[in-house]
Structure 1
Amino acid sequence: MDLQEPLTDQELQTIEAIEASFTKKRSTRADHTQEPRRRTRRHLPSSVLASPSSPSFSLSPCQAANLRMKYQTLSFGGQILYSRTSVEVEKAAVELLQVLEAKKKETDQVAIGFDIEWRPSFRRGVLPGKAAVMQICGDTGHCYVMHIIHSGIPPSLKFLLEDSSLLKVGVGIVNDAAKVSKDYNVCVKGVEDLRCRANQKLGGSSQKWSLASLTETLVCKELPKPNKIRLGNWEADVLTKEKIQYAGTDAFASWHLYQVLESLPDPVLEAAD
């Protein structure tokens, strides 16, 4: 569950570059007989702005192409399979395991997008709810949204989660795995945080990517995060179509971004002087 959507360093740099260009234009048009005004740099709150470790900066192809354009929305065009009872979730997990086992015969590493949702707490001293929804996606055709607050984690789903040969990928996935372990006493093995992979592949300083900001940077798409859905009641008796679509799209985004990152070349290390 991605609770924060901070601006990335690239986005902040882009904003400052635009502001600087307007400042330069205004300066050239000013009356040179007047005493020049002292320029002061506009500072964003320290909670939002993180200083880049490298002095060089360049726009990614996505940012350059979409600097003045609205991103298109990332959409999942496949089928989202929703299950909420123990029998339904067990059946979905069995089906998913069969698909993944077939893929293992074709490739050395099978990765699945993984995410969870839970009911947040807005009262001091009141803990958030248990992991309520688990979403898994392994291709462009199907995503599985499992309402585990009602079903629990049946045997086949437990087997899938504890299978370290199946790579589970997502943003903040280590924390998600810890929550599943705490809430259901099931150990999620074989996890990889997309933030670590992104920082490794993009060759920059460590950035606190969100799933939305990573989506914009890598594929020039917007991943909607409406608070009405994101912070809603995931423990409801039955999920709405909007919540099911939101959950499935998040899992698909994690899987898709992993594929994109894996397609990128590893950064070339500069030789020491």
Structure 2
Amino acid sequence: MTTVNTFVDKISNEQTALLPAVEFRGEIRIVEHERDIAPACKYLMQQPLVGFDTETRPSFRPGVTYRVSLLQLATPERCYLFRLNRIPLAKPILQLLESRQVLKIGADVAGDLRSLRQIRHFRDGGFVDLQTIAPAWGIEEKSLRKLSAIVLGKRVSKAQRLSNWEATTLTDKQQLYAATDAWVCTRIYDRLQHTPKIKRASARTPKTSEKQA
């Protein structure tokens, strides 16, 4: 653990934009056939900790929404992109999402889980939301982009966020974006765990002064 906590509480968009980009450098595997679900989940179930995120096809028309298109689960070495518009939210995936032995680290976890439950109900377990724990280190920002900027000093690109996640083939840029979003959550979590939390002053009851006789 480092000896000091130098994290700022907030960072501007302008400051964030000046930072170097961070990118996932491991292997990216696309899961779009049912036969590939079980082997991917077997590997992930053996990991103590994975990064977690989802992507949904954007809608540019009022009243039109889409179900979640992609589930990303990443380790430092490998990221699996589960194309949920093509494969079911099958039992091996649900077992992973419900496992308390495998920590799943994300940002706005509740929102992602709501999207997944629109496909199939499950009881989540072992999730850690960076938005929820960051205030313990004095960080007030909520977005993944700004959490990365403050904790890692690196910028997460959002250039592919509004791209078509139900496209016939995901582009290399889409794959890298999706993998980075999941993987960087584990980097942020690891850095937080090696940095002291903010010590908060405990509330003390003021002593009543004794009256002079």
Is residue 2:21 matched to residue 1:73?
A: yes
- The answer as to whether partners of 2:72 and 2:182 remain within 8 angstroms in 1 is yes
- The answer as to whether partners of 2:57 and 2:163 remain within 8 angstroms in 1 is yes
SS of the residue corresponding to residue 73 of structure 1 reads coil
Q: How does 1:51-70 map to 2 (within 5 A)?
A: 70=18
> How far off its partner does 1:242 sit?
1.1
Is residue 2:179 matched to residue 1:231?
A: no
SS of the residue corresponding to residue 146 of structure 1 reads strand
Partner AA of 1:95 in structure 2: Y
Gaps of 5+ in 1: 1-7, 16-62, 101-109
Residue 82 (structure 2) aligns with: 146
- The answer as to whether partners of 2:10 and 2:141 remain within 8 angstroms in 1 is no
Q: Which moved more, 1:214-223 or 1:237-246?
A: 237-246
Structure 1 residues 215 and 169 mapped into 2: Cα distance closer, same or farther (>3 Å)? same
CA RMSD of aligned residues (A): 2.3
Q: How does 1:177-188 map to 2 (within 5 A)?
A: 177-188=113-124
Q: How does 1:21-170 map to 2 (within 5 A)?
A: 70-97=18-45, 99-100=46-47, 110-126=48-64, 128-138=65-75, 140-170=76-106
TM-score, length basis structure 1: 0.66
> How far off its partner does 1:112 sit?
1.7
In structure 2, what is the Cα distance between the partners aligned to 1:223 and 1:214? 9
Runs of at least 4 residues off by over 4 Å: none
Is residue 2:184 matched to residue 1:253?
A: yes
In structure 2, what is the Cα distance between the partners aligned to 1:132 and 1:188? 19
In structure 2, what is the Cα distance between the partners aligned to 1:144 and 1:180? 16
- The answer as to whether partners of 2:11 and 2:150 remain within 8 angstroms in 1 is no
Residue 36 (structure 1) aligns with: none
SS of the residue corresponding to residue 119 of structure 2 reads helix
Correspondent of 2:193 among 262, 265, 273: 262
Name the % identity.
Answer: 27
Is residue 2:141 matched to residue 1:195?
A: no
- The answer as to whether partners of 1:120 and 1:231 remain within 8 angstroms in 2 is yes
Partner AA of 1:222 in structure 2: R
Aligned length in residues: 197
Is residue 2:11 matched to residue 1:11?
A: yes
Correspondent of 2:143 among 193, 201, 210: 210
Structure 1 residues 237 and 187 mapped into 2: Cα distance closer, same or farther (>3 Å)? farther
TM-score, length basis structure 2: 0.83
- The answer as to whether partners of 2:72 and 2:82 remain within 8 angstroms in 1 is yes
> How far off its partner does 1:89 sit?
2.4
Report the structure number with the largest CA radius of gyration: 1
Gaps of 5+ in 2: 1-7, 207-213
SS of the residue corresponding to residue 10 of structure 1 reads coil
In structure 2, what is the Cα distance between the partners aligned to 1:213 and 1:269? 23
> How far off its partner does 1:9 sit?
6.7
> How far off its partner does 1:208 sit?
4.3
SS of the residue corresponding to residue 91 of structure 1 reads helix
SS of the residue corresponding to residue 221 of structure 1 reads coil
> How far off its partner does 1:237 sit?
2.3
Larger RCO, structure (CA 8 Å, separation 6 or more): 2
In structure 2, what is the Cα distance between the partners aligned to 1:159 and 1:222? 33
Q: Which has the higher helix share?
A: 1
Partner AA of 2:62 in structure 1: R
